[in-house]
Structure 1
Amino acid sequence: MHQCSCLCGAVTFTVEGALPPASACHCTKCRKHIGHYEAGVDVPRSAVSVAGAEKVTWYFSSENVRRGFCSICGSSLFFDIVGHDRIGINMGAFDTPTNTKLALHIFVADKGDYYDIADGLPQYLQVPGRG
């Protein structure tokens, strides 16, 4: 069981089960929402239990993608592709050890010019398997 929360504690949630490898997204929308690149894991919706869900504000950054953040402190928590059975959890929300590691980088052509990706992990122009 993984404990998660926003900065102010108004939204807390748990994620059950082992976490898959994490990914880093360098697309412009993630960078604008997070303030840097986004690192997260996708987990089954059924594995997530949220307390304070009424404090989560959802912003549709595209027709099928919404991003969840705390309406009090602004912490970025969720990346949700509407209609999928999985939900993305931003790694910064985890309060407890995750026992996972970053496995790949996506949308690297959109990365900021102020940093390099030098960890030796695979880099993709899009999401592998989606185009």
Structure 2
Amino acid sequence: MTIAEGYSGGCQCGAVRYRAAGPIGYPHLCHCRMCQKASGNYALPLGSVQRADFELTRGEPSWFHSSDLVRRGFCNACGTPLFYDIPGTDFINLTLGSLDKPMAVQPVAQSNPAGKMSWFHTLDGLPMEPDSDGSDRALTIRSSNHQHPDHDTQTWPQEKSHD
């Protein structure tokens, strides 16, 4: 994806979608405890876009003020963390995992290293499970997936045919 094409993304259920027409600045992994709790994960990948290049294309996020300075936007329907926002600035931060093509943006830094898990360096040494799991459980999950696809859609959820 080139910068000219921009970036699209959204929540897991598709209720909130966004588009960023400009480049994503300072893509990084934040290890602070506040980002860990906000994402329910060990780190939160974030990158900024200029507000002038940003638009919501479907729905409205809900907001939680995690401090007097920062509010965090998320989907009220599915809970997906989407934004780290400092009102009054000319930019908004996107959660990089909410991009339709997260592989298109590689982090250039890490912030708040005091909160980084001390064992991260051992991850590449862990055994890898195979990508394709043909178990009944995996097949049932894939065939009943309610997750929004990684591209913009005219409507969501898709209307089901009643054959």
Q: TM-score, normalised by structure 1?
A: 0.80
Q: Are the counterparts in 1 of residues 23 and 49 from structure 2 also a CA contact under 8 Å?
A: no
Q: Alpha-carbon deviations, 1:98-131, whole Å to 9, x = none?
A: 633111111110223453499xxxxxxxxxxxxx
**1:102 alignment partner, SS class:** coil
Partner of 1:45: 51
**1:24 alignment partner, SS class:** strand
**CA–CA distance in 1 between the matches of 2:101 and 2:33?**
29
Partner of 1:15: 20
**1:109 alignment partner, SS class:** helix
**1:49 alignment partner, SS class:** strand
Amino acid aligned to 1:16: A
| 71-80 vs 40-49, greater mean Cα deviation | 40-49
Give, in angstroms, the shift of residue 51 of structure 1.
2.7
**CA–CA distance in 2 between the matches of 1:99 and 1:21?**
14
**CA–CA distance in 1 between the matches of 2:91 and 2:50?**
4
From 93, 111, 117, the equivalent of 1:106 is 111
- Number of residue pairs matched by the alignment: 118
**2:36 alignment partner, SS class:** helix
**CA–CA distance in 2 between the matches of 1:114 and 1:44?**
35
**1:13 alignment partner, SS class:** strand
**2:120 alignment partner, SS class:** coil
Give, in angstroms, the shift of residue 52 of structure 1.
3.3
Q: Are the counterparts in 1 of residues 96 and 105 from structure 2 also a CA contact under 8 Å?
A: no
Partner of 1:30: 35
**2:22 alignment partner, SS class:** coil
1:48-127 → structure 2 map (5 Å cutoff): 48-54=54-60, 56-96=61-101, 99-116=104-121
Amino acid aligned to 1:40: L
More strand by share: 1
**2:25 alignment partner, SS class:** coil
Sequence identity (%): 32
Q: TM-score, normalised by structure 2?
A: 0.65
Give, in angstroms, the shift of residue 4 of structure 1.
0.6
Match status 1:5 vs 2:10:
yes
Pick the structure with greater CA Rg.
2
**CA–CA distance in 2 between the matches of 1:4 and 1:39?**
14
**CA–CA distance in 2 between the matches of 1:20 and 1:98?**
15
